[in-house]
Each structure stands twice: as C-alpha cells, then as structure tokens.
Amino acid sequence: MTGELTIDELAERSGVTVRTIRFWSGRGLLPPPTLRGRTGLYGPDHLARLELVSELSALGFTLAAIEGHLERLPHSAGAAELALQRALLTPWVPEQIEEIDRPELERRAGRPLHDDDVDALVGLGVVDLLDHDRVRLHGAGTLGGGLAVIESGLPVDFWRGAHDLIEQHTTALAEDLMKMFQDEVLQPYRDRGRPAEERTRLAEAMSQLKPITVRGVVTAFGRAVNRAIRERVG
C-alpha cells in the first residue's frame, strides 16, 4: 500500500466498518490519523495495525487482551513488524466455530439428539454446552465424525478416552514446539533489535512452517502407530 487513505477508503481496503474503526481508535488500538485540514488520513501502518486488531478480534481475543498485546509491541512498529505479528498469530489450521441452538444441531445431524448423544459429542470435543439450548460447534465437519463414533457400536467411553489422550499429548507437543520457536527464533530476533531485513523472511518462514509441521505431526503419528502394530504382531 502506498499513499494515504480517508477513513472511508481505509474501511473499504480493510473490510472493517467505519464505525468499528472509530470505536477501536477511541480505545487507543489505532494511532490517530494525520490531519490535512479537517480530514484524517491513514497510511500503511494504520492499515497493518487495523488488520492485526481485526485478526486478533476474529480469533476471539477480548479488547483488553488486544490492548495488552499491542502495548508489548514497540511504538515504532511499522507495517512490516505488524505483518509479522499477524503471521505469528494466524491459526495453524482453519477453525470454524459456530454457536447454534439444539434444533439447528439436530437439523444438521439429520436426526433427533438425546441428552446422552449431546454429552457424547461434548466428550469427543465436537461441541461445548453453552446453556440448556445452545452449543458451540467446533467445525461443521466434526459433527459427522462425532455421530459416526456414537453409532460405531464401540463404547463411547473408549472414544472419549482416545480423544483425551490425543488432546493431552498434542497439547504438550504444541507447548514444546512454541517454546523452542520462542527460544531459538523469536527471542534472538528481538535480542538483535528486530532488524527490518529479517521481518519479511521470518513472516514467510512462519507461513511455511505451519503446514509443514501439521503434515509432519500427522505423518509421524501414522508411522508411530504402524510401528506399534508391527511390534505387537511380532
């Protein structure tokens, strides 16, 4: 992006409404525009910060959490630094989380769901109960898999235990990977004074690291299961 934008042009470029931009600006999430007469003009840094705030908001961060994150960034952070922050915070896999009511859940399931069915879906990580009539659905594609598990004939407790085991080990793996990335990549970058020539390269590396790592975890898990089967048979 080059040149300057009015607030209407900034809204069109970013996909964020003028009303939301004004609200976020009032909370201090965006720096004030440059005034030319009575017209406020916004530049590349405003757009980059607005996109970062929008990304954090879409990920479910509260305004207080967004403010805290932005406060930890250098005041001199420009478009390239903010683009790097977006690359670091972009989800590793797409997540489609919806809040729907029980009738809509049953419509998507294609059949009535008893309380035991919903409890099983909760245990499998497919839905979260919000109240007696509303649930949070973790991706439309997970519902079919959860129903298949319930109808498989195997004890639901077995599937629930398998889900908990996977959750436990993948959480530990994610924390170890994040710590290694923090210690060996991010912290040295910060210690070197956040050199500008490294920002774009680091952002590009992050975009490559995410899908490679996810595929690597799936492949490594499959190979580990194959080895376990061979060892048991042998």
86 pLDDT tier (thresholds 50, 70, 90): confident
Write out pLDDT tens, residues 151-190.
888 888 888 888 889 889 999 998 998 899 889 988 888 8
Structure tokens at 225: 């299961």
141 pLDDT tier (thresholds 50, 70, 90): confident
CATH topology classification for 7-89: Multidrug-efflux Transporter Regulator; Chain: A; Domain 2 (1.10.1660)
d(CA 107, CA 103): 6
Q: Where are the domains of the chain?
A: 7-89, 97-153, 159-233
Which long-range contacts does 87-92 make (Cβ < 8 Å, 24+ apart)? 87/202, 87/203, 87/204, 87/206, 87/207, 88/186, 88/206, 89/52, 89/55, 89/56, 89/59, 90/55, 90/206, 90/207, 90/210, 91/59, 92/210, 92/213, 92/214
